Amino acid sequence: MKLRKTGIIGLFWVFMLVLMLPISHLPLTAANRILVTDLTLLLVILVINHTIIHAPLKFKSPFTFSHQLWVSIVPVIYVLLILMGVSTVGPLPARQALQAIAPAFSIAAYEEIFFRGIVLGGLLRIWGTRHLLTITFVSSLLFSLSHLLNLTHQSLLSTGFQATSALAIGLLFAAVYLRTDSLWWPIAGHFLNDFLILAASGSLSSSGPIHYGIQIAVSGGELVIAIVTTAWLLRPEERFDIQQKFHLA
């Protein structure tokens, strides 16, 4: 029964990837294409979750803001480092920054609700906290592998670096969601990450020259920090609390 339910979530993930391909190639401007794609996918996952998966989507945290901020401190620092990197390029173009707000939020809302809320939450309901780290890794790996669709418009190496970074971010956001009991923190972090990239470059794709040594060091460092932080946030003494919050048997 558990394997069958897990297989349903896996098929759900494949279905969303297949659905994304034709929608993401509509003849629209980049910003409008992102909006149409992610809002359509968001509607689809909410309907399927309501009718089939039944994963709880948690937004209102029972914890104080200071507690939630403390739990989220590593992703917050991560976003601040991105901001520092963007600031070295110069001031953000005002028009480009305004145009980046809606698509960045639609990406964050769809991907966090799907991968953290439904995939992670669904697997957690099936397997419980005994396999918490494995479930967290699997949901983050699916998030990472979804970025391989970018091979349609960027190089294999660029996509590989992007997928590695996505795995690191996925682990961090999954741990933050489980500890804060609110999807708003992952959505906010994801929004800021994509907004800064979109506002600075106008695209989430890697189009410039890649310094491979630096990129390998950065991606590897991201992943190591994410793994260590996730293991600490989801350490055994925290799992009973997560079990209670998510009403697991």
Mean pLDDT of 82-98: 70
For residue 170, pLDDT beyond 90: yes
Mean pLDDT of 167-181: 96
pLDDT at 10: 96
Closest Cα partner for 238 from 161, 176, 169, 170?
A: 176
For residue 230, pLDDT beyond 80: yes
Q: What is the pTM of this model?
A: 0.92
pLDDT at 90: 62
Closest Cα partner for 29 from 112, 96, 93?
A: 96
Q: Which range (24-33, 90-99, 209-218, 222-231) has the least confidence?
A: 209-218
Dump the DSSP string for 51-111. III------S-SS-HHHHHHHTHHHHHHHHHHHHHHHTT-SPPHHHHHHHHHHHHHHHHHH
**Using one digit for the tens of pLDDT, what is the confidence trace for 107-163?**
999 999 999 999 999 999 999 998 999 999 999 999 999 999 988 888 888 899 899
Closest Cα partner for 50 from 112, 113, 135?
A: 113
Other beta carbons within 10 Å of 206 = 18
Model confidence band, residue 15 (pLDDT cutoffs 50, 70, 90)? very high
Closest Cα partner for 5 from 127, 142, 145, 111?
A: 127
Mean pLDDT of 174-194: 95
Higher-confidence residue of 215 and 230: namely: 230
143, 9 in Cβ contact below 8 A?
no
How far is residue 17's CA from residue 96's CA, in Å, rounded to a whole number? Answer: 28
Of all residues in the chain, what percent carry a pLDDT higher than 70? 91
pLDDT at 135: 96
